[in-house]
Structure 1
Amino acid sequence: MSDLSGSQVHIVQGFKPDYDAFVAQGFAASTAPEGQYDLGIVCVPRAKREARALIADAASRCARVIVDGQKTDGIDSLLKDVRKLVDVTKLISKAHGKAFAFAGGDFADWTDPGALGSVEGFETRLGVFSADRIDKASAALVAALPAKLPAKLADFGAGWGYLSRHILSCDGVKRLTLVEAEATALDCARANIDDPRAVFTWADVTSFTAKPGFDGIIMNPPFHTTRAADPGLGQAFIASAARCLAPHGQLWMVANRHLPYEATLAEHFGAVEELEGTPAFKILLASKPLRVGKRSS
């Protein structure tokens, strides 16, 4: 790694676990760029429109830009498109990735458009999950929820607020905590939900704590950290839910039918049942959360 002594490094990161990791290493970090820079490094995300927007923003505020990405995330296509607008001054290829550098260029057509066209009345933005449609799993969970819910609730992995808006429309709800790790998604949720009972929390669900515990948690946990399915992420959500519920609390969750969550639920809850779902999605209701090292008799 190059010596960064004497340099001021600013990390722009909206994903809370990564943000926290950078801060723990002593880096200055924020969820959005601030001012002008001598050099900007863009790590390419999977969504092409988001990648273009990041490159356009970097080009507008950085004297030089380096773009780094994997072939599976479309770095070859981005390189080709950038070359149509500006001279690429350096290119490095290694293994399955590429990095290239440029300076200047007119990327006005790539600029982040801001709020996207509403999805059934919801505001979304580039980079958030299911930005152009209602997620089918969340819709299945909404259909399975009871008309009356407990008073103090949480939406784990709340995204841009689809589940939360429905939860707040149900009888009995007095407070709803939206816990979301992606800052952009949480900003959308703030725009989509105008209700004094809603509390917006930028946090990593897997390390989140709540005292006193919630009466209920509702969630559609993510199961991708890369392109491959990662059941471990949903399992970590389940463990966190059990930890954050009051002894009388209940968990409602939805999952693709192929995901192996039942064993993890049985490990963390004294009672688990499957509610009516769809051919693609199972709806699971868990109660009697178990503390670590304890099991129901």
Structure 2
Amino acid sequence: MILTPQSQLLERNINIFEQGEWLFINPSDAYFLDALKHKNVTVMHQYFDIFSECVRVISSSSFDSRDITKEGFEVVQKVGAHTHHFTPFMCNEHTHTDVLIFLPKAKSHFQMLLRMAAGMVGQNGRIHVVGENKGGIKSAAKLMQPYGVTHKVDSARHCSLITTIVEQPHLAFEPEAWLETDTYEIGNTSWPVCSLPGVFSHGELDKGTKLLLEKHTSGMSGNVLDFACGAGVIASYLMLTYPHLKMQLSDISALAIYASAMTLAANGQSATLHAANGLYGIEGNVQHIVTNPPFHTGLKTDYTITKRFIEDARKMLSQNGTLQMVANRFLPYPGLLSEHFPRVLTTAQTTQFSLYQAA
């Protein structure tokens, strides 16, 4: 059991959780909550890895994109006195006295979570934020100021815990106010893409993804998986280009699953969506995997995600199947790919990105 620095700081202040109706948003590990086994708490997870660790029974969750409406989706699991929700957002109004947010990486994501929290606690409710000093906790205090005066509760382990009492009344969170739709263009194809703060490359076409779409090996057929799908950019483009494809999309993020469903709907498309930690729990074989995979865990470069993905991708691909992957040129992926695939080609390159095909 390894507690993150944020959780270690919270353990120092465990008494603050004794009073009130608490909601935790995006805990950084699955173990801090063990110290609160006796207390009824609600936990909102936008990331499937920690949700899965907390509930210990769900390896992945799959959805038909047509079943995800603008109102969102959720997977709920009760563990003792704790109720865990895997969901992109919660639109409850005045249901809690206290909300604790684990600081996300993106400023706009944090602003969205603050607005969500304000609706749930209402006037005179409390919003608390814990985060690493190098992760922007100091600037987070400034972003909290529109809701009320902030003060620091404690600092330790290079982290800080800050809190504010909400001064004004707030209505329930409205996801449509935060959902952004942009039109992307590749060659003669233009198509709408929907996104929310916290989704990879929110509001813009990532340069690596653009290279993949422009230079991917054509002639795909059969079952295709868009791994780490983000807003569904790759899948929606491929389905426009090759309408006969049977697409699947996967991501660890509930925000990405939701955004992808909205993107597919905006293009008159449908597909199977998997919420999963890597490829774990996704069953069946596919002919092709296309991906612009993550190489960060929080603030750190993390190759273990991609190492495990490459190994699992080889097992998931059918005979003569291909993996097409774009990545930053500085990442050591040709060697990692060669450990599991007999043939690895660099099919396109820019000063920043490389596109690989492995078979």
Structure-1-length-normalised TM-score: 0.87
Which residue in the other structure is 1:28 paired with? 83
Instruction: Pick the aligned partner of 1:116 from 180, 190, 200.
Output: 180
Instruction: Pick the aligned partner of 1:44 from 98, 103, 112.
Output: 103
Q: How many residues in Structure 1 have an aligned counterpart in Structure 2?
A: 285
Structure 1 residue 186 displacement after superposition: 1.4
Which residue in the other structure is 1:294 paired with? none
Task: Report if aligned partners of 1:209, 1:243 keep a CA contact under 8 Å in 2.
Answer: no
Code of the residue aligned with 2:99 in structure 1: it is G
Structure 1 residue 235 displacement after superposition: 1.8
Q: 1:169 to 1:90 in 2, by over 3 A?
A: closer
Structure 1 residue 18 displacement after superposition: 1.2
In structure 2, distance between residues paired with 1:169 and 1:135? 19
Which residue in the other structure is 2:164 paired with? 102
Instruction: Pick the aligned partner of 2:299 from 227, 230, 252.
Output: 227
In structure 2, distance between residues paired with 1:9 and 1:24? 17
Structure 1 residue 208 displacement after superposition: 3.9
Q: Is 1:266 the counterpart of 2:338 in the alignment?
A: yes
Structure 1 residue 276 displacement after superposition: 2.4
1:155-170 matched pairs, under 5 angstroms: 155-170=226-241
In structure 2, distance between residues paired with 1:91 and 1:28? 26
Q: Is 1:55 the counterpart of 2:134 in the alignment?
A: no
Instruction: Pick the aligned partner of 1:146 from 209, 217, 227.
Output: 217
Q: 1:193 to 1:92 in 2, by over 3 A?
A: same
In structure 2, distance between residues paired with 1:163 and 1:87? 43
In structure 2, distance between residues paired with 1:178 and 1:41? 31
Instruction: Pick the aligned partner of 1:184 from 255, 271, 275.
Output: 255
In structure 2, distance between residues paired with 1:127 and 1:60? 19
In structure 2, distance between residues paired with 1:70 and 1:218? 33
In structure 2, distance between residues paired with 1:59 and 1:196? 35
Structure 1 residue 133 displacement after superposition: 0.8
Structure 1 residue 83 displacement after superposition: 4.3
Which residue in the other structure is 2:50 paired with? 18
Structure 2: runs of 5 or more not aligned: 1-10, 15-34, 58-78, 185-191
In structure 1, distance between residues paired with 2:272 and 2:146? 46
Structure 1: runs of 5 or more not aligned: 288-297
Q: Is 1:251 the counterpart of 2:323 in the alignment?
A: yes
Give SS of 2:326's match: strand
- Please identify, of 196-205 and 135-144, the stretch whose mean Cα deviation from structure 2 is larger: 196-205
Code of the residue aligned with 2:36 in structure 1: it is L
CA RMSD in angstroms comes to 2.4
Structure 1 residue 85 displacement after superposition: 4.4
Q: Is 1:201 the counterpart of 2:274 in the alignment?
A: yes
Q: 1:234 to 1:173 in 2, by over 3 A?
A: farther
Which residue in the other structure is 1:278 paired with? 350
- Please identify, of 161-170 and 90-99, the stretch whose mean Cα deviation from structure 2 is larger: 90-99
Which residue in the other structure is 1:210 paired with? 283
Which residue in the other structure is 1:293 paired with? none
Q: 1:85 to 1:284 in 2, by over 3 A?
A: closer
In structure 2, distance between residues paired with 1:155 and 1:84? 39
Structure-2-length-normalised TM-score: 0.73
Q: 1:96 to 1:198 in 2, by over 3 A?
A: same
Task: Report if aligned partners of 2:209, 2:292 keep a CA contact under 8 Å in 1.
Answer: yes
Structure 1 residue 242 displacement after superposition: 0.8
Q: 1:197 to 1:126 in 2, by over 3 A?
A: closer
Which residue in the other structure is 1:4 paired with? 36
In structure 2, distance between residues paired with 1:82 and 1:171? 46
Give SS of 1:268's match: coil
Structure 1 residue 197 displacement after superposition: 5.4
Give SS of 2:357's match: strand
Structure 1 residue 219 displacement after superposition: 0.8
Q: Is 1:73 the counterpart of 2:130 in the alignment?
A: no
Task: Report if aligned partners of 1:152, 1:173 keep a CA contact under 8 Å in 2.
Answer: no
Deviating beyond 6 angstroms after TM superposition, the runs of 4 or more aligned structure 1 residues are none
Task: Report if aligned partners of 1:114, 1:125 keep a CA contact under 8 Å in 2.
Answer: yes
Give SS of 1:269's match: coil
